[in-house]
A and B are shown apart, each in its own frame.
Chain A
């Protein structure tokens, strides 16, 4: 009897604790709800809608649609243009990512080791990032013009006959990739500069005393390893951005000539808004999303193991 009595207050306490805990739970949900609503409304919702559309034959403007299963995907994978666009995108990424990372790193190192005018150089190299790509693409279009363009004129002075960069199947994608590097490396440079500032001076001192005092040794034993986390971030970001390449393609080549510069996002846009095949476009989007997610995950897995030391 007494034992029972003794237990009673304890039970009450437990109940009270449970009540506070559920109260805390409620509060927690309340606290995350704005973020959760935004996440659902702006991210998960649209993705779900796109997945849904990809299973229909909806055309933009029509009021009816039918579920047609995976017919869109079947058509997509049977379409040589899609494969061309996918390959082109991968090639584009394979050129732009290393180009951007390397150029960004080299420029950052040059700026950080130069005695003066750092602010000017940083700003100058960052300008392309701030500019509007579609407007800059027009400028590039003029520069790459086969006869009056600056590029071919300059080559002409050196005795090299230029090509019609954007209208030649062999060079169109390359030209776009170079423009992509030009636009993106400033951002990589800024990130590398901030990364360089965080490298402790004592490590360079230790390397100097240890005999690793040449430029290459310093790079190899101190600078590059210490820039690992920044590099990973830059690579993932650049990869994501170059997968999204669209405006320069739209303005300069429209995917031509003969699909030589066709890329995924441009394909998606053309199918959805030029041909109004929303269902097909949605299927393309789903594939695009899958590729992006897969890529980001693999990169993070692979790189994370090598760049975080503690």
Chain B
């Protein structure tokens, strides 16, 4: 019912272009995450969807209708902000009631004292109360309704902000880094709650974050943005395994993907793997695609510089033989040769090797001529 269509959206502040011709279709009921480093234009794009900013050119369609001349409240969207943006002088109940009251009560009925006496207000208020109590119990904040936002913890405030977005049953939820003010533990918990909320409400979610882990764990599809452009829009697992752009490969995944330039590879005296394209300038591989073998046996050789033990995995930072650049390797906790200072060989699974050209674009075809070299 509420798919979102962005057509060639451009936005600039003065000379600085923030969003450069972004086109994107978001399906009805989809959880789409916009991810990118700070300043890449993802928040601006979200604010354009909400109607809080006007684009310089391009169109925004919600449910097939152009909403460019509609004010935020007429777009049937709700937004959750990074700082929660709760009204500090209103109780939690009144915070939740505000979007309902502004819609269902006339201006006169909303006046502080006079409004109460006007006919019709009582019934509307009763309905609003019932809806808020239902939403509050769903979010487990029913016991907080009388408090002011200042008396709540960060997690509780975030729930109230979600509740305020939820009560009026919008067709689209827009979330601007809603979890980044929370501590790590709470963030993981709230992630799960937002996923559950999305499943229960079944409406379209557009979620902005700079945290690739949030993007990977929560979304149906992820749109990676950088410097005002969309680099790739895909399912999380495809972004991880099959990135179209070196920048996408570097942004998704933690620890970061290993990138060794072709020149560096050759200068190390290592033979290139089979099937390397003529235009390939960078070879990239994930930490789990590398196997540790005895020094001298691998395609690349180096020295273990440091060891990060995460319990389930161990990450080795291996300095390459010429002392330039490191490669991160994931090994099992019980694997041998995992102490610092040890010389090791690195064996790279050729199936997991990603090739990119000088501009960072993915090279897919394999040229047999080069393969022989």
Contacts and interface: CB of A to CB of B under 8 A. Distances in A.
Contacts of B151: 310
B306 to A, nearest CB: 41
A309 B99 contact: no
Nearest to B103: A211
A203 B85 contact: yes
Interface residues of B, number: 29
Given A211-B103, A225-B87, A309-B150, A202 B81 contact: yes
A214 B102 CA distance: 10
A217 B102 CA distance: 9
Contact of A212 (B77, B83, B98): B98
B83 A208 contact: no
Interface string B97-132: 011001100010000000000000000000000000
A210 B150 contact: no
A310 B153 CA distance: 11
A209 B87 contact: no
A154 B85 CA distance: 50
A208 B71 contact: yes
A228 interface: yes
A213 interface: yes
A209 B89 contact: no
A225 B148 CA distance: 13
B73 A209 contact: yes
B345 interface: no
Interface in A198-243: 200, 202-203, 205-206, 208-214, 216-217, 221-222, 225-226, 228
A206 B89 contact: no
B262 interface: no
Interface string B351-367: 00000000000000000
A256 B305 CA distance: 91
B98 A205 contact: no
Nearest to B170: A209
B222 interface: no
B199 to A, nearest CB: 23
B81 A205 contact: yes
A302 to B, nearest CB: 16
Contacts of A217: 102
A226 B90 CA distance: 11
Contacts of B79: 205-206, 209
A206 B85 contact: yes
Nearest to A212: B102
A209 B52 contact: yes
Nearest to A206: B85
B31 to A, nearest CB: 19
A153 B193 CA distance: 72
A310 B89 CA distance: 9
A78 to B, nearest CB: 43
Contacts of A226: 88
Interface in B296-352: none
B156 interface: no
B89 A228 contact: yes
Contact of A221 (B50, B82, B87, B103): B87
Contacts of A216: 107
A209 B102 contact: no
19 contacts: A200-B83, A202-B81, A202-B83, A205-B47, A205-B50, A205-B81, A206-B79, A206-B81, A206-B85, A206-B164, A208-B52, A209-B77, A210-B102, A211-B98, A211-B103, A213-B71, A222-B87, A225-B89, A226-B88
Given A205-B52, A209-B99, A211-B73, 4 more contacts: A202-B82, A209-B72, A222-B87, A309-B148
A-B pairs, 7 with minimum CB distance: A310-B150, A211-B102, A206-B85, A309-B88, A211-B73, A225-B89, A210-B99
